[in-house]
Every structure is written in C-alpha cells, then in structure tokens.
Amino acid sequence: MIKKLLFILFIANVVISCSTDVNEVEDVYGENNVQALALTADETKLINLVNTYRSNNNLKPLKLHVSASSEAKKHSDYMLAATVVSHDNWTERANAINGEDPIQAASENVAKDENVNHILRVWKGSVNGHNETLLGDYTHAGVGIVKCQDGNLWTTMIFVKK
C-alpha cells in the first residue's frame, strides 16, 4: 500500500514539476494541409537550430510534422517516467506515424540535457549516427521536449521522409 502511494506521489510530482510553455506554430506538410501545432519555446528553438544546421550544409529545412511531433512528445514523457534516455518502442512510434500519414522513412534522435544548443552540439559530434540523421534525406520532423524543474530537457526528435 505504501509503495502504491509513493508511486502515485512520484507521478504527481513529475506532472507538476515539468512544464510546457506553449507557442503556436503553423504546420504546413503536404500540398493543402495546414494545421496548428503547439510547440514549446525549446521545441521551436531546436527545430530552428536543426534547420539552420541543415541550411549551412546545403540541405532543405525540415517542415513540421504533426503526427511525428505527437509521437515525439509521448516518447519524451515515457523517457522521463522511466528516467532513461532510450529508443524503446521505436517501431510502434514509426508505425503510428505511418498509419496517420504514409511515410517512406523515419529515424529519431533522443537526449536529456539542460540546453537545446548543447543537445544539438552533442548530436552533431556523435559517432553513433545522430549527425547522419540530422543531415539525412528527410523532409519533415517532429519534436517533443519535456522540461523539468531540475532544468533537464527530455528530448525526442523524429525525422521523416514523405
């Protein structure tokens, strides 16, 4: 009984201690499909930093993808609850995105850090494929970041080729 109470208090603390400052961003993906997507300031900053990096490497910017962002946000919540950075359940996320809006390919980068600039620097310097994903043949992306009181940003960015 005490373990259940402690678990409930832990989950309540996680929900209360994590925030989502929301910015409205217009999402255009597809010929005539315009949808509003709520992004936090950190999510907006990360997608802009990634697009600047891609532009500096003569690549087209990534457009926001609603379903990928939704799946990215869910995965960041999952990582926070599990207290581990992971690619757990990747196949399920990719299938969910494909089921909503057919895609040709997808990949993801994940991280936990206090600063989106540092997250991007780590991904760029990675020998584990993160930089290749940033500069990959993708057309769209979704991002989900959960920011907690301790300053950590639990981050998932999903890259999609339509």
- Cβ partners under 8 Å of residue 155, min gap 6: 46, 76, 109, 110, 111, 112, 113, 116, 119, 143, 144, 145
Give the pTM.
0.80
The Cα-based distances of 73 to 11, 40, 89, 142, 158 in angstroms read 17, 11, 13, 9, 10
Instruction: Determine the pLDDT at residue 76.
Output: 97
Instruction: Determine the pLDDT at residue 36.
Output: 53
Statement: residue 19 has pLDDT above 80 = no
pLDDT in tens, 77-110: 999 999 999 999 999 999 999 998 789 999 999 9
